[in-house]
Amino acid sequence: MMAELNSPLSPTEQDEHPPVGPRSREAFRRARDVFPDGTTRVTIERDPIPRYMSHGRGAYLFDTDGRKFLDLNANFTTLIHGHAFAPVVAALEQQLRDGTCFANPTEKEIDLATLICGLVPGMQRIRFCNTGTEAVMFAIKAARAWTGRPAIAKVEGSYHGAYDWVEVSQSSTPATWGSPAEPQSVPFYRGMPSSVLSEVVPLRFNDSQGALQQIRRHAASLAAIVLDPMPSRAGLIAPDAAFISALQNVAREQNILIISDEVLNFRQSFQGAAARYGLEPDLYALGKIIGGGLPIGAIAGRACVMQMFDADEKKPAVPQGGTFSANPMSMTAGLAAMQSLDHAAFAHLERLGDMLRARLVQAIERWQVAFSVTGAGSLFRIHPKRRPPRDFREAFWSPSEAAVMRELTRFFTAEGIILPNGAAACLSTPMGDAEIDLVGQVFEQFLSSRAQCMEWGRL
């Protein structure tokens, strides 16, 4: 049934913070008549009306009402070179004229695959798909085919896309997450099959002993440990060396594969996140930055495990395809973006990230307030906690902490900075010292305005 057109905004929707302009309000009015909830991605940030964007240039985004924002979201960390990166634009213009998708392979896919496999020795073979969700899904299917086992272990609170098994315990709460020693499998959506819940073993991040016990207990059914080395939504917390080596050792001991989900964290270094933290995965899931701003995903890893996708004139163990997989537009954009990601680019991002995290911590110490900062490389996250959290449970917000974070995000938006709320914020190569100064100053202003508030001491 067609929804009523132009239905009025509810009183809460009119109370948006900070106010969006009339064009965003009008767009949202139209959107609510065609999309359940008014948006077509649950991850869209809104308060409560989303801001509609008209275009982006470099580190900045412009909304349809003409306001300019420093973009610390970068489409959920995808745009490592910022918006409308000139080499990507030029390459895409040519590809657009040459055709956008064919049922045949192109040489571009070999070029991008060669570049990526050349970066990481553990990526001996690669296959392309269109999203990080698909990459994680196919990596898990390959692990199942390789081991002959159905289940996975994953970190509580971590986000790996929309495949049912990795959604388990993504949004656990104190009421549902169970004991520290034995985290519960918590459904993510109403109707999630109980068979899925029984095939997922949630682990607490950085709890080496607990993880070892759980993995050994369920080893006979485990195909893979799916690990994002620094899971953004679970806190963007650095892994302890002991946690990494415990997982690595128990996986080897029990013939369980390790899948490093680097859809987000591949941007952590020239060789990605596993290399940074000493993890040696069997398989990797990639996405985001390797597509240069166009949809992409990839599964990579040891040649023998990647053999699960090899048909060799018969049906492969795991058929993997897709109408738009390895489409030449994504391959072209990815190639142009990745060719520009040299050591100098990573050194630049690392320097900016270190500078920004230090600046935020200095401000917190100066104002003696209940905030902390986590992250690495070009990624950071601000927590409403006195001590940096060590796992998802410690990072979890109470209602008053959630209110503080909402205020922080609103303050940043009012000052012209888009700061993701509850996810990783990121830097991009077009940023420089001026952008770091701006973020530092705005955080300082927020702390100074909050310090005068009586509520402060209770945080």
Q: Residue 228: what residue type?
A: D
Q: Using the rule CB under 6 A, is 144 a contact of ligand PLP?
A: no
Closer residue to ligand PLP, CB minimum distance, 10 or 75: 75
C-alpha distances (whole Å) from 120 to each of 91, 114, 155, 238 are 25, 11, 24, 21
Site for ligand PLP contains 264 (CB under 6 A): yes
Shortest Å, Cβ 76 to ligand PLP: 5
* Sheet with 200-203: strands ordered across: 125-129, 297-301, 283-287, 257-261, 222-227, 151-155, 200-203
Binding to ligand PLP by residue 381, rule CB under 6 A?
Answer: no
Nearer to ligand PLP, 73 or 429 (CB): 73
CA atoms within 13 A on the CB side of 339: 15
C-beta of 339: minimal distance to ligand PLP in Å?
21
131 binds ligand PLP (CB under 6 A): yes
Which run of H or E residues covers position 374?
strand 372-376
Binding mask 33-72 for ligand PLP (x = CB under 6 A): ----------------------------------------
| Closest approach of ligand PLP to the CB of residue 234, in Å | 10
**Identified binder of ligand PLP from the candidate list 45, 261, 391, 435, rule CB under 6 A:** 261
Question: Sign (positive/negative) of CA torsion 330, 332, 336, 338?
Answer: positive
Shortest Å distance, C-beta 159 to ligand PLP: 5
Contacts with ligand PLP by CB under 6 A: the residue count is: 15
Q: Tell me whether strands 297-301 and 283-287 are parallel, antiparallel or unpaired.
A: antiparallel
Which of 297/377 has CB closer to ligand PLP? 297
CA 155 to chain centre: 14
From the list 24-32, 63-71, 108-116, 158-166, the region that binds ligand PLP by CB under 6 A is 158-166
Instruction: Confirm or reject binding of residue 159 to ligand PLP (CB under 6 A).
Output: yes
Of the listed pieces 57-65, 157-165, 243-251, 377-385, which binds ligand PLP according to CB under 6 A? 157-165
Could you tell me the two tokens for 207?
Answer: 């709890």
Considering only residues 132, 235, 375, 389, which one is a binding residue for ligand PLP as defined by CB under 6 A?
132
Burial degree of 12 (CB within 10 A; 0-12, 13-18, 19+): exposed
The answer to whether residue 228 forms part of the interface with ligand PLP (CB under 6 A) is yes
Q: Which is nearer to ligand PLP, 160 or 276 (CB)?
A: 160
The answer to the question of residue 133 lying near ligand PLP (CB under 6 A) is yes
Site membership for ligand PLP, residue 76 (CB under 6 A) = yes
Q: Do residues 280 and 122 touch, judged by C-beta distance below 8 A?
A: yes
Locus of tokens 């070892």:
212
Q: Is 259 exposed, middle or buried (0-12, 13-18, 19+ CB in 10 A)?
A: buried
* 8 Å CB contact between 308 and 146: yes
Tell me how far CA of residue 302 lies from CA of 3, 228, 413, in angstroms.
Answer: 50, 18, 44
Q: Which of 137, 263, 294, 425 binds ligand PLP (CB under 6 A)?
A: 263
Region near ligand PLP per CB under 6 A, out of 51-59, 159-167, 168-176, 306-314: 159-167
Q: How far is the CB of 163 from ligand PLP (least distance, A)?
A: 9
263 versus 363: smaller Cβ distance to ligand PLP = 263
Q: Which of residues 386-445 bind ligand PLP (CB under 6 A)?
A: none
**What minimum distance in Å lies between the beta carbon of 228 and ligand PLP?**
5
Going from the C-alpha of 271 to that of each of 27, 32, 266, 336, 338, the distances in angstroms are 41, 43, 7, 17, 12
39 contacts 30 by C-beta, under 8 angstroms: no
Stretch that binds ligand PLP, among 62-70, 155-163, 203-211, 338-346 (CB under 6 A): 155-163
Q: How far is the CB of 378 from ligand PLP (least distance, A)?
A: 14
Helix axis angle, 86-98 to 328-339, nearest 10°: 160
Contacts 24+ apart (CB under 8 A), 60-66: 61/418, 63/20, 63/21, 63/23, 63/24, 64/21, 64/23, 64/24, 64/27, 65/20, 65/21, 65/22, 65/23, 65/24, 66/21
Question: Which stretch, 125-133, 172-180, 367-375, 447-455, contacts ligand PLP (CB under 6 A)?
Answer: 125-133
Task: Catalog residues that contact ligand PLP under the rule CB under 6 A.
Answer: 76, 131-133, 136, 159-161, 228, 232, 261, 263-264, 287, 297
